Amino acid sequence: MASVACRRVPLASNSPFIIASARSQVAAIRLRVPLQLSRTNQTDASLAQPSIHDQGAQPMRKFTYHLAASFSAKYKKFDSFTNVFHFNPYNRIQTEKKRPKSKRPASGQDAFFISRVGDTNAVAFGVADGVGGWEESGVDPADFAHSFCDYMASAAHEHKSNSGEPPLTPRALMQRGYDDVTKDRSIHAGGSTATVAVASEDGKLEVANLGDSGFVHLRLNAVHTYSEPQTHAFNTPYQLSIVPASMLARAAAFGGAQLCDYPKDADVTQHNLKHGDILVFASDGVWDNLFNQDILRMVSRTMTGIGAWKTSDGGIRVADNLRRFTESEDSTQRPVTLQSALAIEIAATAKAASTNQRLDGPFAKEVQKYYPQENWHGGKIDDICVIVLVVSDSSKSPGVQSKL
């Protein structure tokens, strides 16, 4: 008996719509090189406070994290103005631990969260991809993924770092979210992959990755590191699951097994961040359609075009002041920031690639390797979700802002 939680290789991928090219989708939000700088007394909405200088000691380095997300549901047209989330750490988180379906982002079975960690300047964030195979059993995979992310966001926001609680780790946060989902009586079955991260004020990043969502870490016009997918077999990723007792009984009677992995099975990695680093976390809707080098080309074009990465005699270097790119001065309009522009462009490009039947992406290459008889070409239509994080050393950035 095949596991209901397994993903299957789709036999057809014809899209019922045609979307505009990625370039035209993001043209309206393309960043421009700042022309004027203006001083402001606004509260810094980028997480960090000014660097602390002890008498006679070296200044204590603090890092700020600027995040945005972009997303698109499968078979829905991508809208660069609405399919974006701008993270502001000072906004109050929703009071309910789980949002009603009507308030979920339009990301389909993919879900994400970004949250400040308690009253600190650390951030927790992650992506979950609901396992579509559950649809065959009459289960909406989005319920598990979105609730899982909502519970993790609440747990991170409520974390009390000064009350004797141990430091928040991504694996512990994943476990907390999974425990809360399994206790939620409105969710009887389902599952998702997960990649969860916590970035601390001192530039330390820890990531727990379970399944085939993942991340790429870019530094100075190069791919610094990236995650490897966890799979049981081709197109069958590790996944957190809730399996009803009735399904377990049928599996025991007729053979087969239900896939159910746990947070303890996640790969955990630690990373040291630097000023100007870019992190891209995404579901397999991105990684099945874009190679790491595709992501790097998009990010490099934008970073060098606006002057955030600069060419010098010694090679590429990072501009000292990134706040002018990562903060929006006009709060009365939709903010256009470096992180949101990158997230939108990556999501739009992945969307366009998913419907392109003439250009083989990573998923097509894998199908051709393992199932050559399928004659698969082009992209893979799927839900898409991406989070972009821009790292800034706050000791380098003067208190100025500028329009983008």
* pTM for the full predicted model: 0.84
Please give the pLDDT value at position 34: 37
Half-sphere exposure of 179 (CA within 13 A, CB side): 8
User: What region, left, alpha or beta, does residue 267 occupy, with left being phi > 0 and alpha being psi -120 to 50 degrees?
Assistant: beta
Whole-angstrom CA distances from 352 to 4, 22, 82, 279 are 29, 6, 17, 22
Whether 133 and 260 have beta carbons less than 8 Å apart is answered as no
Q: Cα–Cα distance between 280 and 385 in angstroms, integer?
A: 10
Please give the pLDDT value at position 101: 85
Domain-located, residue 207: yes
Kindly state the tokens that stand for 397.
């950035």
Whether 218 and 224 have beta carbons less than 8 Å apart is answered as yes
Please give the pLDDT value at position 102: 84
Sequence-distant (6+) residues with CB within 8 A of 261 are: 210, 211, 238, 239, 240, 241
Residue 91 is part of which domain span? Answer: 22-26+62-402
Q: Cα–Cα distance between 192 and 174 in angstroms, integer?
A: 12
Domain-located, residue 249: yes
Positions of the chain with pLDDT under 50:
1-59, 95, 332, 399-404
Domain-located, residue 4: no
Among positive and negative, which fits the CA dihedral 206, 189, 144, 74? Answer: positive
Whole-angstrom CA distances from 175 to 97, 118, 180, 236, 264 are 16, 18, 9, 21, 8
Q: Cα–Cα distance between 199 and 25 in angstroms, integer?
A: 31
Domain-located, residue 14: no
User: What region, left, alpha or beta, does residue 47 occupy, with left being phi > 0 and alpha being psi -120 to 50 degrees?
Assistant: left
The enclosing domain of 103 has a CATH number of 3.60.40.10
Whether 194 and 127 have beta carbons less than 8 Å apart is answered as yes
Among positive and negative, which fits the CA dihedral 336, 327, 108, 74? Answer: positive
* Residues counted in the chain: 404
Q: Where are the beta strands (DSSP E) in 222-314?
A: 223-226, 231-233, 236-237, 240-242, 267-272, 278-282, 309-312
Domain-located, residue 111: yes
What's the domain count of the chain?
Answer: 1
Domain-located, residue 82: yes
Domain-located, residue 41: no
Q: Cα–Cα distance between 199 and 179 in angstroms, integer?
A: 23
In the beta sheet, which residues pair with residue 223? 218
Kindly state the tokens that stand for 146.
């979105």
Domain-located, residue 38: no
Please give the pLDDT value at position 258: 66
Please give the pLDDT value at position 26: 47
Please give the pLDDT value at position 328: 78
Measured from the Cβ of residue 345, the count of other Cβ atoms closer than 10 Å reads 26
Q: Cα–Cα distance between 129 and 301 in angstroms, integer?
A: 29
Please give the pLDDT value at position 395: 77
With tokens 């462009």, the residue in question is: 345
